[in-house]
Amino acid sequence: MNKNCKNVYITTPIYYVNDVAHIGHAYTTIIADMLARYSRLSGSSTYFLTGTDEHGQKIAQSAISRNKSPMEYATEISSKFKTLWDDFDITYDKFIRTTDEEHKIGVQKAFLKMYEKGDIYKGEYEGYYCVSCETFFTQKQLIDEQFCPDCGKTTSIVKEESYFFKLSSYEDKLLKWYEESEDCILPRAKKNEIINFVKRGLRDLSISRTSFDWGIKLPACLNEPKHVMYVWLDALMNYITALGYGNDDKNMNQWPASVHLVGKDILRFHSIYWPAFLMSLGMPLPKHIAAHGWWTRDGEKMSKSKANVIDPKEVANAYGLDAFRYFLLREVPFGQDGDFSQKALIDRINSDLGNDLGNLLNRIIGMSGKYFDFHLSSKDVLKYHTKELEEVNSILKNVEEYIYKMQINKFLEDIWKVLTIANKAIGDYAPWNLIKENKKDEAMALVALITNIMAKVALLLHCVMPEKISKIAQCIGIQINTQAYERILKQNILLADTRITKVEALFPRIEKILLEQAPNMLVKEENKTNEKTIKENSQKTSKNNDEKENDNLISIDKFFETSLKIGTIIEANEVPKSKKLLKLQVDLGEKNTRQILAGIKEFYSAENLIGTQVCIVANLKPAKLMGMLSEGMLLAAKDENGLHLIRPEKNKIIGTNIS
């Protein structure tokens, strides 16, 4: 996408209707949806296209194998894609089908225009064809003289009359475009691959077939009833026919595309054939073609035969759509391959979403309720927190740039840096102490600071997690719209007086034990015994645990096996490179102090802990954390309002046993 672009046009590939959608399709569509939502919020007129690719030999064969006509079959699968995107609240402006009448007319007009320009001629094709990839190959390109170099399937020899597109005559023009338009292909590494490919030489492209008839006919004036168009020519044209090309031209002002999002598997078609067709039509070229990487499942390629294909609906039902969206966008840098595992997803939910984001909101609700009857004012924020605000604003100033460069994970990483500043500020300023010390204005300034940070974060994250962020917006009393985006994010205007409204916990913790119980839960197998959602399982698990706990009552002797003692923290330091750990020296009245590493850094600052009395598990086996010895454990309680250490009500003699 381009900065300050008034008209933004975002597309996904149109998906083949030979099979139902899986996580890979959802990935592309969710990235496109995120970009479209962001673009609209930042004030650009945005058009977002998706749809289905329904012609060609592959679809015809799939239909036959199911005893259906190609049209009947295509309609059935196309509507499954559409329903999925509707269920996922994907904000597409148009869902195109290549069997739509307007599309067919538009493609025929484009064909004729290229023909009249002299870019299309009739000849004979002799070579190899991979039906699965719908791609032509020379014998030299094949593996072991018969297998497709892209998918490994057996190719078939084709010898038939065919129309050709003069791709070879666009070689230099394409190379010039790659050179002049720096970011036309993203990421850059992929662009170099394409340049090298084109430099090795391009052959003219066969663009019609006669051995089957499931495709768009050539223009009637050519009088070639046996020919249908090559499916990639038909499919690529969707990007302009969807805007009305060859028909009413209604939305043609959205052209050229700001970004064509594609998987790396189809980058060549988009960055070689498509711009060459457009040059032939005399049309402007897309601004960016952005290719993302490939998702594997637990390290393996997904395939039906391995029964490890991930159904996006199942993941969304189990973990929540927004968490799924966040995971896909955050887990892997755009362009790189990624591995989907439940463990990685649960870690992201519990840590990034539950701890860093959800908990911060809970702390706003908790503190504003407890100290200020849910009413906040930003009047003293600048007096006490210019430093934090400047830090936050300087990080957020650059995040938009990451979107334009398709570095979505970096966009999210920086937003999380801001959340860390907010969480840390709470620990550093400890508003509960400020209240005790009667510094109510300072405490108010702190809670208002956090709320202002949350407002900025919400405006940026809405495109990623629309449903949950709408709840955050409702809680802190802001609107998610372009005006708010301008005021709060661009002009850095602080919130006026705010009323906080309670909302339920946004990302309840997911227990990891589910992984062991349901390692295959997301795998589509004949025995769909695990249709139930993880959440249902989760409820059951905690119930079972409650029951087990009742069965497993322990004796008092067993309890006394744990040695609990009072100690005083005499030294506390941050552990470099650790987000969570503090290194404490605790005096338990023994000869030497105990070194204890505690995961409390997000909630307490080191210097505030010195001199504090705490409860220690004193007979825990020493363990090494980040290469350092930890000789005990602090008792603490963590809930929606944060983590708090358990301390004696009155100071006790060091080393006193707790019973």
Q: Which residues contact 476 (CB under 8 A, 6 or more apart)?
A: 361, 364, 451, 454, 455, 458, 495, 498, 500
Among 147, 197, 212, 294, binds ligand ME8 (CB under 6 A): 294
Determine the Cα–Cα distance for residues 146 and 138; give it in Å rounded to an integer: 10
Q: What is the Cα–Cα distance from 328 to 26, expressed in whole angstroms?
A: 9
- Toward ligand ME8, which CB reaches closer, 96 or 500? 96
Could you tell me where the beta strands, DSSP code E, fall in 352-417? 375-376
CB 57 within 8 A of CB 131: yes
Q: Nearest-CA neighbor of 46 among 238, 254, 252? A: 254
273 in contact with ligand ME8 (CB under 6 A): no
Rounded-to-integer distance, Cα 609 and Cα 154, Å: 68
Q: How far apart are CA 199 and CA 479, in angstroms?
A: 51
Stretch that binds ligand ME8, among 9-17, 154-162, 163-171, 407-415 (CB under 6 A): 9-17
Select from 14, 353, 376, 564 the one that contacts ligand ME8 (CB under 6 A): 14
**E strands within 71-132?**
94-97, 120-130
Per CB under 6 A, the list member of 9, 15, 214, 326 interacting with ligand ME8 is 15
Stretch of 69-77, 233-241, 385-393, 446-454 lying at the interface with ligand ME8 (CB under 6 A): 233-241
Q: How far is the CB of 232 from ligand ME8 (least distance, A)?
A: 7
Q: Is 309 in the site for ligand ME8 (CB under 6 A)?
A: no
Non-local CB neighbours of 373 within 8 Å, separated by 6+ positions: none
Nearest approach in angstroms of CB 230 to ligand ME8 is 12
Please tell me what DSSP assigns to residue 193: H
Among the residue ranges 7-15, 142-150, 464-472, 620-628, the one whose residues contact ligand ME8 (CB under 6 A): 7-15
**Cβ neighbour number for residue 248 with a 10 Å cutoff:** 10
Q: Which is nearer to ligand ME8, 16 or 92 (CB)?
A: 16
**Smallest separation (angstroms) from ligand ME8 to the CB of 85:** 13
In the list 1, 9, 10, 28, the residue contacting ligand ME8 (rule: CB under 6 A) is: 28
296 vs 517, beta carbon nearer ligand ME8: 296
Whole-number Å distance between alpha carbons of 508 and 504: 9
State in angstroms the smallest separation of the CB of 231 from ligand ME8.
8
C-alpha–C-alpha distance, residues 311 and 87, integer Å: 13
Residue 460 Cβ vs ligand ME8, minimum distance, rounded to whole Å = 25
Position closest to ligand ME8 via CB: 24
DSSP assignment string, 219-236: PGGG--TT-EE-HHHHHH
Residue 79: CA atoms inside 13 Å, Cβ hemisphere, count? 5
Q: Applying CB under 6 A, does 74 fall inside the site for ligand ME8?
A: no
In degrees, rounded to 5, the angle at the alpha carbon of residue 548 between the alpha carbons of residues 543 and 549 is: 100
Segment near ligand ME8 (CB under 6 A); pick from 14-22, 185-193, 424-432, 494-502: 14-22
**Does residue number 265 form part of the binding site for ligand ME8 (CB under 6 A)?**
yes
* Residue of 77, 240, 257, 266 interacting with ligand ME8 (CB under 6 A): 266
Smaller CB separation from ligand ME8, 269 or 507: 269
Rounded to a whole number of angstroms, the minimum distance from the CB of residue 374 to ligand ME8 is: 45
Q: What is the DSSP string of 497-535?
A: SEE------SS----THHHHH-TTTTB--S--TT-S-HH
- Residue in 34, 174, 262, 598 binding ligand ME8, rule: CB under 6 A: 262
CB-nearer residue toward ligand ME8: 24 or 366: 24
Given candidates 41, 90, 114, 236, which one binds ligand ME8 under the rule CB under 6 A?
Answer: 236
H helix intervals, 99-157: 101-116
Minimal distance in Å, beta carbon 235 to ligand ME8? 4
Under DSSP, is residue 471 helix (H, G, I), strand (E, B) or coil? Answer: helix
Prior bond of 576 cis (ω within 30°) = no
C-alpha 268: how far from chain center: 24
Q: How far apart are CA 78 and CA 421, in angstroms?
A: 46
Q: Is 24 in the site for ligand ME8 (CB under 6 A)?
A: yes
Each residue 38-67 as x (binds ligand ME8 by CB under 6 A) or -, in order, gives ---------------x--------------
Q: How far is the CB of 294 from ligand ME8 (least distance, A)?
A: 4
User: Cα 75 vs. chain centroid, distance in angstroms?
Assistant: 29
CB of 336 or CB of 482, closer to ligand ME8 = 336
- CA-CA distance, 165 to 378, in Å (whole number)? 64
Q: Confirm or reject binding of residue 263 to ligand ME8 (CB under 6 A).
A: yes
Number of residues that bind ligand ME8 (CB under 6 A): 19
Q: Does 302 bind ligand ME8 (CB under 6 A)?
A: yes
Please choose, out of 21-29, 199-207, 344-352, 401-409, the segment that lies near ligand ME8 by the rule CB under 6 A. 21-29
Stretch of residues binding ligand ME8 (CB under 6 A), selected from 232-240, 369-377, 474-482, 572-580: 232-240
What's the closest the beta carbon of residue 604 comes to ligand ME8, in angstroms? Answer: 42
The interface region with ligand ME8, picked from 24-32, 100-108, 213-221, 340-348 by CB under 6 A, is 24-32
Task: Indicate which single residue of 9, 10, 16, 414 sits in contact with ligand ME8 (rule: CB under 6 A).
Answer: 16
| 185 part of the interface to ligand ME8, by CB under 6 A | no
* C-alpha span between 6 and 195 (Å, rounded): 30
Instruction: Work out which of 9, 27, 255, 324 binds ligand ME8, going by CB under 6 A.
Output: 27
Nearest residue to 433 (alpha-carbon basis) of 604, 573, 581: 604
**Cβ pair 509, 480 in contact under 8 A:** no
- Spatial contact of 487 and 270, defined as CB atoms under 8 Å apart: no
Provide the angle, in degrees to the nearest 10, between the axes of the packed helices 408-429 and 381-396: 160
The verdict on 214 binding ligand ME8 (CB under 6 A) reads no
Residues making contact with ligand ME8 (CB under 6 A):
13-16, 24-25, 27-28, 53, 235-236, 238, 262-263, 265-266, 294-295, 302
